[in-house]
Structure 1
Amino acid sequence: MELKNVSCYSPDNMPYGHGVQYFKSEDGQDFYESLNLFTKKYTLCIEPDTGIIRSMAEDVSSLYPAGFTVVDVDELPDGVDISGDWLFEGEKIVPRIPTQGERVAKAKFKKAALMQQASTVIAPLQDAVDLDMATDAEKALLLSWKKYRVLLNRIDLSAATDIDWPDPPSETNRQNHGFKAVIHRHPDDPVIDQMG
C-alpha cells in the first residue's frame, strides 16, 4: 500500500469529530479510511522526493503522515532507523550515502560534542590545579585530557571522510590515576564520590 504526498485537509463530513486532524494523499485517499489497507508488518513515512525514511511504526495509526508518502513493508534490515541514513527504493530499504555537506555537518557535530565532553572533564581538574589542591594523579589526568582536546581541535573536517579521531583518556586511566571528582556542599557534609 502507498499513499503519496499526504497532506492535512478538512473533510466535509468529519467522521471522527472536529478535534481530529485529517490527512489525505495527493489522489484524495483519506488516511484513516485507508488504515486497513496497510497489511504489512511495518509502515514507513518517507520523504516524497528522496525516499528518505523519517518515521516508522508497526501501528500505522500512530504515524503523523503530513508531508510524507506512507508505505508498508514486511521486513526491516538490521540497523534501520529514522536518522536520515536509510532510503525506501520502490520495494526495498537500502542504506543511504550521505552528501559531502551532510558528512561535514555530522563530523562538526561529533567534534563539538567531544570537545564539550573534554572541557567538562578538564574544568574540575583545572580548578584543582588552580587552587593548588590537585594530586599528582589529577595533574597527569589533566594533562592527558588537555592533549586530547588539542588533538580534537586540530582535526580538519573539510573532507569529512576517514577522520582519525583521537582516543580520549580511558576510564581505566582515570581509575589508575586515582582521580575522583568530588563536590563539597558544605564543610561539614561528606564528600560525594562521582567516579565510583
Structure 2
Amino acid sequence: MSNIDWSKLITKEMKETQRVIALMGEVIADQSRRKKIADDAIQPLQDDHDTGDADDAGEALLIAWKRYRSALAKIQLQPGYPTAVEWPVPPA
C-alpha cells in the first residue's frame, strides 16, 4: 500500500497552466483599467463632436483615443499573449 495520494499530484504542466491563468487575469485587469481611462477621455470629446462644438484638434484627439481603445481591444490577438503583451501608447 502506498502513502502517496495521487489525486493531489501537481504536475509541472498544471503549475504552468495556473501561472498563465493568473497572468491572464492581471493582463485583463490592466486592459480594463486602460480602457476606462480611454472611455473617460473619449466621452467629452465625443460630446463635443456630437454637438458640433469640436475643433480640429478635438476631432483629431477623439480619433486618436478611439484608435487607442481599439488597439487595446485587440491585445489578445498578439503573438505571445498573455505572457508578452505590447501595450499601445495612449494619445498625448
Q: TM-score range by the shorter chain?
A: 0.7 to 0.9
CA drift of 1:152 comes to 0.4
Q: Secondary structure at the match of 1:156?
A: helix
What TM-score do you get using the length of structure 1 for normalisation? 0.36
Percent of aligned pairs with the same residue? 34
What TM-score do you get using the length of structure 2 for normalisation? 0.74
For 1:138-159, what per-residue CA distance to the aligned partner results, in whole angstroms no more than 9, with x for missing partners?
0000000000000001110783
**1: distance between equivalents of 2:41 and 2:31?**
15
Q: Which has the higher strand share?
A: 1
User: Which residue in 2 is equivalent to 1:142?
Assistant: 62
User: Which residue in 1 is equivalent to 2:40?
Assistant: 120
Q: Which has the higher helix share?
A: 2
1:1-196 equivalences in 2 (<5 Å): 99-156=19-76, 159-170=81-92
Structure index of larger Rg:
1
**2: distance between equivalents of 1:159 and 1:99?**
13
The answer for unaligned runs of 5 or more in structure 1 is 1-97, 171-196
How many residue pairs end up in the alignment? 73
Q: Is the 8 A contact 2:46 2:62 kept in 1?
A: yes
Give the residue type in structure 1 aligned to 2:31. K
Q: Secondary structure at the match of 1:159?
A: coil
Give the residue type in structure 2 aligned to 1:141. L
Q: Work out which structure has the larger RCO, using CA pairs closer than 8 Å and 6 or more positions apart in sequence.
A: 2
Structure 1 residue ranges (4+ consecutive) displaced by more than 4 angstroms after TM superposition: none
**2: distance between equivalents of 1:161 and 1:169?**
25
